[in-house]
Amino acid sequence: MGAEAIVVFFIAGLVFVGGGAIAAKLLSPKSTNPDKWEPYESGMKTIGSTWVQFKVGYFLIAILFLIFDVETIFLIPWAVAMKKVGIVAFVEIVIFIVILGLGLLYAYKKRAFKWE
């Protein structure tokens, strides 16, 4: 199978979930009790809105992830070519990872990993 596998598996997933959802809709019983459709909150009615401002720490982690994930993308072609290129690749990656490590150190000093 060639690249069409991606499309085939995508469609297979759609059919699997969609078919399951339709089958469940046809087979399952229905009842209409308004309280059943309230958000689950351990028996209490929900107070206020759910979609509120959230702790900024999560977004900080997301930004850090973005930086380091892009660095990983740069590392992948290097890892594939390392065996063929040899000493030049090694020296370059030492410089690259030292810079990356300095970035990590900076984030650490700025207390980005402190959860407070």
Partner 1 sequence: MYDFTGLIQGINKWLHSILPAVAADVVGWILIAAAFLGLFAILGLVLVLAERKIAAFFQLRLGPNRIGPWGIFQTVADAIKLLLKEPVGTNRADSFLYNLAPYFVIIAALMSMSVLPFAKGLHAYDIDIGVFFVIAMSSLGVMGILLGGWASNNKYALLGAMRSGAQMISYELSVGLSILTIVLLSGSLRMSDIVASQSDYWFIFKGHIPAWIAFMIFIIAGTAETNRTPFDLTEAESELGAGFHTEYSGLKFAFFFLSEFVNMFIIAAMGAILFFGGWMPLHIGGWDGFNHVMDFIPPIFWFFGKVSFLIFLIMWFRWTFPRLRIDQLLTLEWKYLLPMNLANILLMAFIVLMGWHL
The token pair that represents 38 in the structure block: 């309230």
Q: Is 113 in the site for partner 1 (CB under 8 A)?
A: yes
Contact 90, 82 (CB under 8 A): yes
Among 53, 56, 58, 111, binds partner 1 (CB under 8 A): 58
Q: Is 95 in the site for partner 1 (CB under 8 A)?
A: no
Sole residue written with tokens 């890892």:
79
Among 87, 95, 109, 111, binds partner 1 (CB under 8 A): 87
Count the residues in the chain: 116
Q: Is 56 in the site for partner 1 (CB under 8 A)?
A: no
d(CA 115, CA 69): 21
Radius of gyration of the chain from its Cα atoms, rounded to whole angstroms? 25
Q: Is 102 in the site for partner 1 (CB under 8 A)?
A: no
**Shortest Cβ 59–partner 1 spacing (Å):** 9
